Chains A and B, each alone.
Chain A
Amino acid sequence: MKEKFEILTSTCVPLPLENIDTDQIIPARFLKATTREGFGDNLFRDWRYGKDGKLNPDFVLNKGTYYGQILVAGKNFGSGSSREHAAWALVGYGFKVIVSSFFADIFKNNSMNNGLLPVVVSPEFLNEILKTVTENPASTLTIDLPSQTITNNATHRSEHFDINSYKKDNLINGRDDIDFLLANKEKIEQFEKKRTGE
């Protein structure tokens, strides 16, 4: 059983770059583990650490100004490689929600399969959130999955976000797709029989 997701209120980490690809989230040289654990240490590795291996004090995760369980990023977050390690790294670091105006497809699926909620907002609302958070690091967002709303608590503005009801139910109930697919095994076998009979 996975962790259940319902309502989250948290401060945020702003990362207003566009097209943040999965090679930035977790570089390939850190993909060599054979388990799902430990990837959080290398989240945004080459932005968090300098070439000398020392912490880069200018990177948002190292400044100490911003913290929280929500990452707010520019459009087209998670493009590139299908590596689920990107979702594992974000979860491992402690993020539960990523807010952006646009997500890459495979990343979106990978994150939902790991209890990490991708919340798509309008470009205008994204700008507002980034502005609020940047100016006031203590400000919070509330993500209400059952009612599919995201609220900027500093401005009290809310937006509805889309998620298909199957994935939503899985996230709320901590279920996964394999539970569903295994329960449907008879249909798979019927499908195969029908095909070979064609």
Chain B
Amino acid sequence: MSKTLFDKIWEKHVVDTLSDGTIQLYIDRLYCHEVTSPQAFAGLRARGLKPFRPKQITCVPDHNIPTLHQDQPIKDPVSKKQVDTLMANAKEFGLTCYGLMHPKNGIVHVVGPEEGLTQPGMTIVCGDSHTSTHGAMGCVAFGIGTSEVEMVLATQCLTQRKPKTMRITIDGERKPGVTAKDIALYIISKMTTGGATGYFVEYAGSAIRHTTMEERLTICNLSIEMGARGGMIAPDEVTFAYLKDREFAPRGDEWKKKLNEWKQLNSDPDAHFDKEILFHAEDIEPMVTYGTNPGMGMAITGTIPTLESVPESGRISYKKSLDYMGFKAGEKMIGKPVDYVFLGSCTNGRIEDFRAFASIVKGKKKADSVTAWIVPGSWMVQRQIVAEGIDKILNEAGFELRQPGCSACLAMNDDKVPAGKYSVSTSNRNFEGRQGQGARTILVGPLVAAAAAITGKITDPRTLL
């Protein structure tokens, strides 16, 4: 029987199936960060248990670490306690942990792929919704809650219902100035913020095949923003070339053996999906969001939709959203003033994002009215930035490179946008208060972020290319 990529990986990890269809799923790799794991470790301890398969667990503090002076103790005592708790739990149970200033530290979803810990065919979970990122390498990866983290710690398994499958095909060739983030924001704007809930999404089509590995990570990262359980892309030569020789990638004969297995990981030509969606790459423009969920996005050249265009049941929420943002229906986004620019996060904190940002700001100056936070996704990215001289381009243009972490994406550290201020951000969520209480977030790709940082307003980056 023909199978989807998702089915092929999922079925290989089913330990047991209960009479009502609940599945006991085996998990190859668990990533832990400091915010959603302490209660799971405490629960484990209360039951008198230890991690069942410690070698399959990697811990990385990232959510509330500062992006300056990481060599010094964390000033916020509550943040410090969470990071210290993760380090202590890892030490007690013999788990690998890349703490602050460790050369492998960074955002867990940046670190996993770049270290070769994330590999095709795996099942991967983490107490973080953006775990969908790892699906870009051809695995089944999804976010879980803390009780589920405890399940995996205790048994390396999860109880799950099998999600439905959806294929989103993007055919055609994308236009210049359109980044992977724009593709993702376009898809989410069409699907809406809950439009893929209950589904596991496979991205396919010629526009996807022609993406780089890092672009795929960006696209899969945002799957959760339309409610999808996860997103994935069949591994191919792009995936294998990216993975080869990375720290934890298989080597020698083991690499050859794995490569043969990985080459089987694709949906059969006649595989059935519960839902099929088709988009055309030519229709995609650089994107911006104008509201308070990632589904509220549009082409940068467009106008904010009218209240009448929204279904009646959603109008109270729509109005509340525009009021929060200080925008009016029918307005253009181009030309709106910007106070903060954030480049970074598990969505857009990789080297290609910094190259893209630098390509716009090179030889120009940051607008005086803009505060910019430029935060690499990991120390590996930071080292690449320096090795390629991108730090010099940034410095000359008036930008300062900070230290890696989740930073202003969710503002658990000091990188908070003040109330009422507009933040043009390459992160993944524009929810009310996400980047600081009262902060107004406009989600964009790295090129739009760079154009905003230079001009101090929402600007089509194609006018600066």
Contact = CB atoms under 8 A, between A and B. Distances in A.
Interface of A: 16-19, 21, 23-24, 27-29, 31-36, 46, 51, 74-76, 79-84, 87, 102-106, 109-110, 113-114, 123, 127, 164-167, 176-178, 180-182, 184-185, 187-188, 191-192
Interface in B387-443: 410-412, 419, 429, 431-434, 437-438
B145 A109 contact: yes
Contacts of A184: 15-16, 24, 155, 157
Given A18-B317, A104-B197, A104-B227, A187 B16 contact: yes
Contacts of B22: 164, 166-167
A84 B227 contact: no
Interface of B: 15-16, 18-22, 24, 26, 35-36, 38-39, 42-43, 47, 49, 52, 63-64, 78-79, 81-82, 85, 127-129, 131, 143-148, 150-151, 154-159, 161, 163, 193-194, 197-198, 224, 227, 229, 293, 295, 313-314, 316-317, 320, 410-412, 419, 429, 431-434, 437-438
A88 to B, nearest CB: 8
B193 A76 contact: yes
Contact of B194 (A19, A27, A123, A167): A19
B159 A110 contact: no
Nearest to B37: A34
A82 B129 contact: yes
- B154, B155, B159, B227 — which one has the most chain A CB atoms within 10 A of its CB? B159
A84 B127 CA distance: 9
Contact of A19 (B35, B52, B143, B293): B293
A125 B190 CA distance: 27
B78 A32 contact: yes
B150 A178 contact: yes
7 contacts: A23-B431, A51-B438, A105-B163, A184-B157, A187-B16, A188-B24, A188-B157
Contact of B159 (A103, A127, A166, A185): A166
Contact of B129 (A81, A103, A113, A185): A81
A166 B128 contact: no
Contacts of B154: 178, 181-182
Contacts of A165: 19-20
Given A34-B81, A34-B85, A105 B313 contact: no
Contact of A188 (B15, B49, B161): B15
A165 B20 CA distance: 6
A127 B148 CA distance: 33
A105 B198 contact: yes
Nearest to A112: B147
- B26, B131, B194, B198 — which one has the most chain A CB atoms within 10 A of its CB? B194
B143 A181 contact: no
Given A76-B193, A80-B129, A46 B433 contact: yes
Contacts, number: 181
Contact of A164 (B20, B49, B129, B227): B20
Contacts of A180: 159
Contacts of A188: 15, 24, 26, 52, 155-157
A28 B144 contact: no
B444 to A, nearest CB: 19
Contacts of B157: 181, 184, 188
B363 to A, nearest CB: 37
B42 A102 contact: no
Contacts of A114: 147
Nearest to B150: A178
A46 to B, nearest CB: 5
B16 A166 contact: no
A32 B194 contact: no
B188 to A, nearest CB: 12
Contacts of B410: 23, 28, 81
A181 B159 contact: yes
Given A164-B161, A185-B155, A82 B145 contact: yes
B211 to A, nearest CB: 25
Nearest to B15: A191
A133 B227 CA distance: 29
A103 B313 CA distance: 16
Nearest to A83: B36
B53 to A, nearest CB: 8
A107 to B, nearest CB: 8
B33 to A, nearest CB: 11
A79 B194 contact: yes
Contacts of A36: 39
A51 B418 CA distance: 11
A76 B197 contact: yes
A193 B214 CA distance: 34
B419 A51 contact: yes
Nearest to A31: B35
A18 B314 contact: yes
B431 A113 contact: no
B126 to A, nearest CB: 8
B42 A34 contact: yes
A28 B145 contact: no
B39 A106 contact: no
A192 B27 CA distance: 11
A82 B146 CA distance: 8
B193 A87 contact: no
B431 A16 contact: no
A176 B154 CA distance: 13
A28 B143 contact: no
A16 B320 CA distance: 12
A165 B96 CA distance: 37
Given A28-B412, A188-B156, A84 B85 contact: no
Given A19-B317, A32-B82, A113 B293 contact: no
